[in-house]
Structures are given as structure tokens and as C-alpha cells.
């Protein structure tokens, strides 16, 4: 069973088709990068897969459960670090983490243990008592990702996780993500192409709501006859792409 399978997944906002008949299959344990220019439809796709935005048509199954008919089952298996960092501003770092753990049904003492572990892994331990709103933007981002992982989801969606992170934090997050490869399914969006190339098993490139290319970074370079992944990406996102 694939981790994610979409069939004809479509989202229409009035006249604009943000996601257009997406057919995609992502394997369990895969780190899948969903790339595309601004407005390509990445976040809209993720929001539908997380059951926060109903599709206009089509469906998707996550570990066999439909986002339309079984959203409760889907939500138990997934978590998300959204593009617009979502932390409760008036709760402390520790409280934010414990809250999410508790929402997912983890008991109080385990939630505390997990929050401690997670704060250490994300370099937030010495800020544990600080309210989220006084953290720097990058630290809030790290907290948001930590909140995505603390529940040990089977599938995690990371929408531009490294945006605004300093070089050290970015590399640390890469290490965490690499360490999770094969264990959980990760769907990553990023505008840092070298990040997608370095980390992902496969890459899907969306363009104007459609999936325009799919494969490993190496395959996409070969298909386009380009030596750098950035050149391959540019070729695949031209208005009249070669493929
Ligand atoms: N709630 C909404 N109402 C109307 N249009 C929307 C809404 N959300 C997204 N869109 C439109 O859908 C299209 C896809 O947006 P989306 O946020 O999915 O792009 P994206 O690939 O995540 O881009 P970015 O790289 O800038 O984050 C855009 O044209 C956007 O304006
Ligand atoms: Mg987006």
C-alpha cells in the first residue's frame, strides 16, 4: 500500500484551478519533494491531503484511508508543519509541544518526556519557558516543525520547513530529516533546489496545478539533458516546457 495516492485530485477557486487532476503515488518511507514556482499548487495540494481543504473533485488515500470519507483516520496518522508557521503565541515552547502531544492522545507524563526530547533535538531546550511569540522567526519555524514531529506521525508534510532558518539550523533539520528517511513518509516543499536534490528520494514538479515531471533528481536532469538540477528545474517550469 502506498503512503499517499491521489487520483484526479482537483481544487478550483472560482475560475482558478489551483490543483488540476493530480495523479500521484508516494511510497511509505519515501522523502518526496514537491517543487514548483510560486502559485504552482503545492500548498493547496498539502492542505487537501491534510483534510483542511476539501477537494473540488477527485480523491486521495493516505495509508489506505480516503481524505473524503475517512478524514478522522487520516488525521490520526499525519501531521503538518504548515507554510505559515503555526504556533500558539501565548504558550511557551514546552506548552506548545505538550499541547500537540496531548491533542494526539499522548498521556501527560509522556507528553512532557517527549517535549523535552524534542526541545533538545531542535535546539530549543534553553527557551522552553519562553512564550512562542518572543522567539525569533527561525526559532518559531523550528518549533512548528518540532510540533509536527512530536506526535510521531506516519506521514509528515513539511511546507517550506527551512524558510528563514539560519545555515546551522537548516543543516540540523536536514540531519533530522535524513535520519527519518525510510521510517516515516515525508512530503517536503522547498524553493531551495539543492535541498530537494540532496534529501529527496523522488521529486515531483508542479506547474500551474499540474504535475509536470516526476522522478529522481538524476532522472530529471537526464530527461531535460541538463547537468545541474537547477537548469533541469528551469527547463521543466518554462511556460512551454519540453516535457
Ligand atoms: N484560499 C484561496 N482562495 C483563492 N485562491 C487561492 C487560495 N489558496 C490558494 N489560491 C490560489 O491557488 C494557486 C496555488 O496556490 P498555492 O498556495 O497552492 O501555491 P504554492 O505552490 O504553494 O506557492 P508558493 O511557492 O508561493 O507557496 C495560487 O494561484 C493561489 O493564488
Ligand atoms: Mg506554498
- CATH code, 37: 3.40.50.300
Q: State the total domains in the chain.
A: 2
Cα 206 to middle of ligand 2, angstroms: 11
Q: Could you read off the pLDDT of 171-185 as tens digits, one per residue?
A: 989 999 999 999 999
Provide the angle, in degrees to the nearest 10, between the axes of the packed helices 137-149 and 93-103.
30
Residue 65 pLDDT: 98
Same domain, residue pair 104 and 182: no
Residue 87 C-alpha from the chain's centroid: 16
Mutational pocket test of ligand 1: of 40, 54, 188, 195, the residue with most ligand atoms within 8 Å of the beta carbon:
40
pLDDT band of residue 36 (cuts 50, 70, 90) is very high
d(Cα 139, Cα 120) in Å, to the nearest integer?
13
Nearest CA to ligand 1 atom 19: 39
Share of the chain above pLDDT 70, in %: 99
The tally of CA atoms less than 13 A away on the side-chain side of residue 40 is 23
* 78, part of any domain: no
How large is the average pLDDT for residues 73-87? Answer: 93
Q: Which of 133, 153, 173 is the last residue of a domain?
A: 153
* 73, part of any domain: no
Same domain, residue pair 109 and 37: no
Q: Which of 98, 130, 153 is the last residue of a domain?
A: 153
Same domain, residue pair 167 and 242: yes
Q: Could you read off the pLDDT of 137-162 as tens digits, one per residue?
A: 889 999 999 999 999 999 999 999 99
How many beta carbons lie within 10 A of that of residue 108, not counting itself? 10
Cα 189 to middle of ligand 1, angstroms: 13
Q: Which of 153, 175, 205 is the last residue of a domain?
A: 153
End-to-end CA distance of the chain: 29
Return residues with CB closer than 5 A to ligand 2 (ion).
Answer: 42-43, 83
Q: Which domain holds residue 94?
A: 85-153
- Residue 78, Cβ density class (10 Å: 0-12 exposed, 13-18 middle, ≥19 buried): buried
C-beta of 13 in contact with ligand 1 (< 6 A): yes
C-beta of 18 in contact with ligand 1 (< 6 A): yes
* 75, part of any domain: no
- Sorted by sequence, the CB contacts under 8 Å of residue 203 that are 6+ apart come out as 32, 33, 34, 35, 196, 197, 213, 214, 215, 216, 217, 220
Amino acid at each position: 500500500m502506498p503512503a499517499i495516492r491521489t487520483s484526479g485530485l482537483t481544487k478550483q477557486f472560482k475560475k482558478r484551478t489551483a490543483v488540476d487532476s493530480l495523479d500521484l503515488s508516494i511510497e511509505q518511507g519515501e522523502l518526496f519533494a514537491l517543487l514548483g514556482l510560486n502559485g504552482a499548487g503545492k500548498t493547496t495540494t498539502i492542505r487537501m491531503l491534510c483534510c483542511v481543504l476539501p477537494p473540488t473533485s477527485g480523491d486521495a488515500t493516505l495509508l489506505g484511508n480516503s481524505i473524503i470519507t475517512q478524514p478522522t483516520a487520516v488525521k490520526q496518522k499525519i501531521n503538518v508543519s504548515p507554510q505559515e508557521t503555526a504556533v500558539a503565541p501565548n504558550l511557551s515552547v514546552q506548552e506548545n509541544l505538550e499541547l500537540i502531544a496531548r491533542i494526539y492522545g499522548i498521556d501527560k507524563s509522556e507528553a512532557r518526556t517527549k517535549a523535552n526530547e524534542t526541545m533538545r533535538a531542535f535546539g530549543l531546550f534553553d527557551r522552553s519557558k519562553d512564550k512562542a511569540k518572543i522567539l525569533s522567526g527561525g526559532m518559531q519555524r523550528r518549533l512548528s516543525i518540532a510540533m509536527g514531529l512530536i506526535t510521531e506521525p506516519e506521514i509528515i508534510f513539511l511546507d517550506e520547513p527551512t524558510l528563514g532558518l539560519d545555515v546551522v539550523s537548516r543543516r540540523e533539520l536536514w540531519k533530522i530529516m535524513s535520519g527519518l528517511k525510510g521510517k516515516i513518509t515525508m512530503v517536503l516543499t522547498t524553493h531551495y533546489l539543492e535541498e530537494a536534490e540532496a534529501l529527496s528520494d523522488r521529486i515531483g514538479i508542479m506547474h500551474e496545478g499540474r504535475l509536470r515531471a516526476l522522478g529522481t533528481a538524476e532522472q530529471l536532469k537526464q530527461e531535460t539533458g541538463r547537468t545541474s538540477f537547477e537548469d533541469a528545474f528551469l527547463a521543466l517550469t518554462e511556460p512551454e516546457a519540453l516535457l
